[in-house]
Amino acid sequence: MSGRRFRIFRKRPQDDLLERSMRTCPGCQRDVHVFAAGCRHCGHALDIAS
């Protein structure tokens, strides 16, 4: 019973950091790095300032 609750809180901080540095490309809906000037998957131009 108590083991089930532990699994929910077991979160890796590294994954969280990686997730924050990625965003979804509006062109292809795939993960693109936030600092990328353009999508590496479809070539969609990304606004870095946002």
Point out which residues bind Zn ion (CB under 5 A): 25, 27-28, 39, 41-42, 44
Q: Which is nearer to Zn ion, 19 or 40 (CB)?
A: 40
CB of 16 to Zn ion, least distance (A): 23
Q: Residue 32 forms beta bridges with which residues? A: 23
Please, what sign has the CA dihedral across residues 14, 16, 47, 33? positive
Of 36, 42, 9, which Cα lies nearest the Cα of 21? 36
